[in-house]
Amino acid sequence: MTETATTSGRQILVTGGTGSFGRAFVRRMLGSDPSCVIRVFSRDELKQFEMEREFHRDPRLRFFLGDVRDRDRLGRAMQGVDWVVHAAALKHVPLCEYNPAEAIKTNIIGAQNVVDCAIDAGVERTVGLSTDKAVNPVNLYGATKLCAEKVLVHGNAYVGPRSSRFAMVRYGNVVGSRGSVIPLFLRQVPSGVLTVTDERMSRFWISLDQAVDLVLDAFATMAGGEIFVPKIPSMRITDLARAIAPEAMIKEIGIRPGEKLHEVLLTAEESRDARDVGPHYVVGGQVPGLGTPGEGGFVYASHTNTQWLSVDRLAELVQELESRAA
């Protein structure tokens, strides 16, 4: 991390802090900085109880029960906070499709509450988490995350003389997170049949550690208004199935409503405003000249990616996940 990204002595609030990303972020911070204090904000008391035990009741952790829909409670939790990581979201595509009002309340109104409370509390920097499903969305989850991107990015227009700044990170499927296809495949292994919705499907692949790295890079370099997009490899869903169970039969069950064959991290329009800064692209932002401007017009999509994970490499990564979970 650069000097501007140091967490030393900082108060950090993580919304949705009991989720897969939140736990990985907390683990990284507690392991690397003895002086930071982290507030975990989430609505599930059982997950908070389990997380408190997982981290051996570390005195640097504070647990706030609350929902990002509740602006008053969120505002209370942000008092004295330096940085906010906004990871809270309803993210399961079929559930969001069936419960659209609930997805809107959490993913859009919740994002607006984060912006308003951060400005009121004088939070220095806020980084929100987005998804490739927000690009050209075909499902409600993606649409709400697109709105959340706009809410946070344009939150910078409302800070006035305050020092608060907002940015987003946008990445693909997180390996091993809740709702990931890997746990599903592992459960299906004993049956000898792995189900895929469409054999042509491809996805971007990012690990939790890489996602944490991206957020820390965003904190380090953000000026306000950026969307940080990592350069990550793609995988074919059938290759992942073969990596987990080489002898199993692959059964195609049909694409689900709101599901894409391939995902996109940058549209042609966005790429004209993207800077290549090495490990990732940066779209927009208040300070011009960050990195090298791209030629524009390219689409960063999972099926046309230049980086691909082989079956052998996928098998190694799955084994690493299983060994960590053991």
Instruction: Give the confidence band of 153 by pLDDT, cuts at 50, 70, 90.
Output: very high
Q: Which is more confidently placed, 243 or 273? A: 243
Nearest to 173 by CA among 125, 205, 139, 138: 205
Q: At 282, which CATH number?
A: 3.40.50.720
Domain membership flag for residue 193: no
Instruction: Establish if 253 belongs to a structural domain.
Output: no
The pLDDT assigned to 178 comes to 65
Question: What whole-number distance in Å separates Cα of residue 245 and Cα of residue 238?
Answer: 10
pLDDT at 294 over 90: no
Mean per-residue pLDDT for 213-220? 96
Q: Which residues are catalytic?
A: 133
Q: What's the pLDDT at 311?
A: 94
User: Could you tell me if residue 210 is inside a domain?
Assistant: yes
Dist. CA 241–CA 238, nearest whole Å: 5
| Domain count along the chain | 1
DSSP code at position 37: E
* Residue 254: count of CB within 10 angstroms of its CB: 9
Residue 194 has pLDDT above 80, yes or no: yes
pLDDT band at 182 (very low <50, low <70, confident <90, very high): confident
Instruction: Give the pLDDT of residue 259.
Output: 86
Q: What is the pTM of this model?
A: 0.91
Which residue carries 């990303």 as its tokens? 21
Residue 4 pLDDT more than 50? no
CB 238 within 8 A of CB 251: no
The pLDDT of residue 3 is above 50: no
Residue 290, phi-psi category: left (phi > 0), alpha (psi -120 to 50), beta (remainder): beta
pLDDT reading at 321 higher than 50:
yes
**Distance, CA of 25 to CA of 85 (rounded, Å):** 9
CB 60 within 8 A of CB 100: no
DSSP letter string over 71-140?
A: HHHHHHHTTT-SEEEE------HHHHHH-HHHHHIIIIIHHHHHHHHHHHHT-SEEEEEEEGGGSS--SH
What whole-number distance in Å separates Cα of residue 300 and Cα of residue 295? 13
Residue type (1 letter), 7: T
The three-state (H, E, C) secondary structure of 226-288, written as one string: EEEEECCCEEEHHHHHHHHCCCCEEEECCCCCCCCCCCEEECHHHHCCEEECCCEEEEECCCC
Instruction: Count the helix, strand and coil residues of the chain and give each as a percent rounded to the nearest 5.
Output: 40, 20, 35
Q: What is the pLDDT of residues 21-75, one digit of tens each?
A: 999 999 999 998 889 999 999 999 999 999 999 999 999 999 999 999 999 999 9
Question: What's the pLDDT score for residue 112?
Answer: 98
* pLDDT of 297 above 80: no
What single-letter DSSP state applies at residue 164?
-
Assigned domain for 242 exists: no
Least trusted range by pLDDT, from 114-118, 130-134, 158-162 = 158-162
Residue 94 scores a pLDDT above 50: yes
In a domain, 139, yes or no: yes
pLDDT of 2: 40
Q: Which domain holds residue 160?
A: 3-174+205-231+269-290
Q: To 10 degrees, the CA torsion angle through 191, 192, 195, 201?
A: 150
Q: pLDDT > 90: what percent of the chain?
A: 79
pLDDT given at position 289: 44
Inside any domain, residue 128: yes
| Residue 326 falls inside a structural domain | no
Report how far residue 26's alpha carbon sits from residue 51's, in angstroms, rounded to the nearest whole number: 10
The overall average pLDDT reported for the chain is 91
Q: In this predicted structure, what is the pLDDT of residue 288?
A: 46
Percent of the chain whose predicted confidence (pLDDT) is above 70: 92
State the pLDDT at residue 272. 86
91 domain residue, yes or no: yes
Model confidence at 176, pLDDT cuts 50, 70, 90, reads: low
